[in-house]
Structure 1
């Protein structure tokens, strides 16, 4: 995102995840605040992904979506993949994707997160 405050908030969220893990109290509020910057910048994909993300964390007290794979995997592998989710790493990756939206791969991965969150 272009906004300097949004960029600082992204750094804060990533730093907090490193220090305290998924602390739902502050994390959800920070993600909601980050979503307001995405609304201001009119980035519907990021707005939706961030909403799905904090709703998912509220519901599960964790982030249970794996990092998108570079290659498509068949259904048998995906169940193993879900069991091996590192919630903090996956959430850090999702949040870091919002920093550089000019990168096509970031947009692609955000769409995969959106779809995975909708399916969950």
Structure 2
């Protein structure tokens, strides 16, 4: 996103996630505020992902969407995930993607999050 206030809000959300984890009290309001900036900038993908994100957090009190894989996992490979960190890290990642929408990889990951949130 281009808006300096939106970038500051993204940084605030990321910092709060580091400090308190998924604290629904302030987090949902911050995500809704960030969504207004995306609406102003007319970025439909970000608007949709943010709406689906806060609705998901309201419904689950967490963020149950896994981070997109960079590479396909080989069959038989052992996957080790820290269940407590996974929701916070995944949420931090999806929010951080919005800082640089000129990156095609970020757009692809946002689309994957949108699809995963829609099908959750």
Give me the TM-score of the superposition, normalised by structure 2. 0.90
RMSD across aligned C-alpha pairs, in angstroms?
2.1
Residues of 2 paired with 1:83 and 1:68: CA distance?
15
Residues of 2 paired with 1:60 and 1:83: CA distance?
18
Residues of 1 paired with 2:82 and 2:12: CA distance?
28
In structure 2, the residue corresponding to 1:86 is in which secondary structure?
Answer: helix
Structure 1 residue 94 corresponds to structure 2 residue 100: no
After TM superposition, what 4+ stretches of structure 1 lie above 4 angstroms from structure 2? 80-85
1:78-115: CA deviation from partner (whole Å, max 9, x where unpaired): xx899957000000000000000000000000000000
Equivalent residues of 1:28, 1:58 under 8 A apart:
yes
Name stretches of at least 5 consecutive residues in structure 2 with no aligned partner: none
Q: How many Å apart are 1:70 and its aligned residue?
A: 1.8
1:89–1:83 CA distance, 2 compared to 1 (3 A): closer
Structure 1 residue 32 corresponds to structure 2 residue 28: no
Tell me the equivalent position of 1:8.
Answer: 8
Equivalent residues of 1:64, 1:87 under 8 A apart:
yes
1:25–1:36 CA distance, 2 compared to 1 (3 A): same
Name stretches of at least 5 consecutive residues in structure 1 with no aligned partner: none
Answer 1 or 2: which has greater helix percent. 1
Residues of 2 paired with 1:65 and 1:114: CA distance?
10
